[in-house]
Amino acid sequence: MKQVDYIIVGCGLASIAFCEQLRTNNITFIVFDDGSQQSSIVAAGLYNPVILKRFSEVWKAKEQLDIALPVYNRIEQDLNIKIDYKLRILRRFSSIEEQNLWFNATDKPKLEPFLSTELVKNNNDALDAPFGFGEVLHAGRLDTNALIDAYKDYLKQIKSLEESSFIYEKLQVLPHSLIYDDIETQQIVFAEGFGVKKNPYFNQIPLNGTKGEVLIIKAPKLNIDYGVKSSVFIIPIENDLYAVGATYNWADKTNQPTEEGKQELISKLKTFLRCDFEVVQHLAGIRPTVKDRRPLVGRHPEHQNLYVLNGLGTRGVMIAPYVAEKLYQFVENDKPLDSEINIKRFTY
């Protein structure tokens, strides 16, 4: 029988952030992943402390960034990869009224560190932006694909990755340990994203799931090294490639890209992109969203050593390391979870 301290189910942003807590505290673990969910892989990877629709602060933006960036930067060093790209993000204004709303927002103490007070004029013929842009500070893009690939390679090297489905029925919950096949463990953290719907221990948590589609376009004449947010985002990747996203669909819960999603993105893009482009890739995934827009973290009501780390919603990059740390402190050091993120806030 193999002995490990933890089993983690899932290898997306939530899981990796929790693995980092374990790895840096010399705690042993095995990760299961079957590739059934795509959210972390297709994510554009943007981290941005401001809600750009309403010019308001993302929940606990500063606390999240203060925890998240050092975690990603340590992974970069330890795995010898580059994943964190600082990125200017320009919010395109559609009217003078929007410009005014922006400048009003720059006066709010919580937003002030994140919003530039200078109006950025458009000097790029490929973009239509007669009212200019506002610049978001302290934003960036995490290359989630590179992170997940490199992290899985690392886990394989240390023989801690099982590339298969975790079959819930095979789990034996004993009074003082958990047995799964030939593995004996003390704790299990379920971090399956929308896949939690199939988990009999936690499928009652109120996770909605919002499908998102994204296009990768090639636009040689666009030539920008900053991200633009208008009705959709354009995010530079490399070699004239840009991510364009994203859609929000609450009805369809499949990972398949749709023609409808593609056309929606193209028509929104064409409202402000003036140069030719070619769609080279089309991706989709289900964001693990929650009605009250807070994560779902906590302990199973009956089985003391089963935990859930989920509900990262539309902003998994910033929030994952923050909630992973909270869960780690809860399990290992008995630090209570904030009621705002604890699954106990719901009766289900």
Ligand X SMILES: Cc1cc2nc3c(=O)[nH]c(=O)nc-3n(C[C@H](O)[C@H](O)[C@H](O)COP(=O)(O)OP(=O)(O)OC[C@H]3O[C@@H](n4cnc5c(N)ncnc54)[C@H](O)[C@@H]3O)c2cc1C
Interface with ligand X (CB under 6 A): 9-15, 32-37, 39-40, 42-47, 165-166, 191-195, 212-214, 245-246, 285, 287-288, 310, 312-318
CB atoms inside a 10 Å sphere around CB 233: 22
Enter the DSSP assignment of 327.
H
Shortest spacing between CB 243 and ligand X, in angstroms = 8
CA distance 56 to 245: 20
| 81, two tokens | 């990869």
190 or 277: CB nearest ligand X = 190
Give the separation between CA 98 and CA 86, rounded to whole angstroms. 26
Closest separation between CB of residue 46 and ligand X, Å? 4
**Cβ-Cβ contacts under 8 Å for 173 (sequence gap 6 or more):** 303, 305, 306
Which CB atom, from 254 or from 304, has the smaller least distance to ligand X?
254
Report, in Å, the least distance between residue 43 CB and ligand X: 3
C-alpha span between 221 and 237 (Å, rounded)? 15
- How many whole angstroms separate alpha carbon 10 and alpha carbon 192? 5
Q: How far is the CB of 150 from ligand X (least distance, A)?
A: 15
Q: How far is the CB of 163 from ligand X (least distance, A)?
A: 9
In a 3-state reduction of DSSP, which class is residue 39?
helix
Closer to ligand X by CB, 122 or 210: give it.
Answer: 210
For ligand X, give the closer residue by CB, 40 or 122.
Answer: 40
Q: Which is nearer to ligand X, 122 or 205 (by Cβ)?
A: 205
User: 3-class DSSP state for residue 140?
Assistant: strand
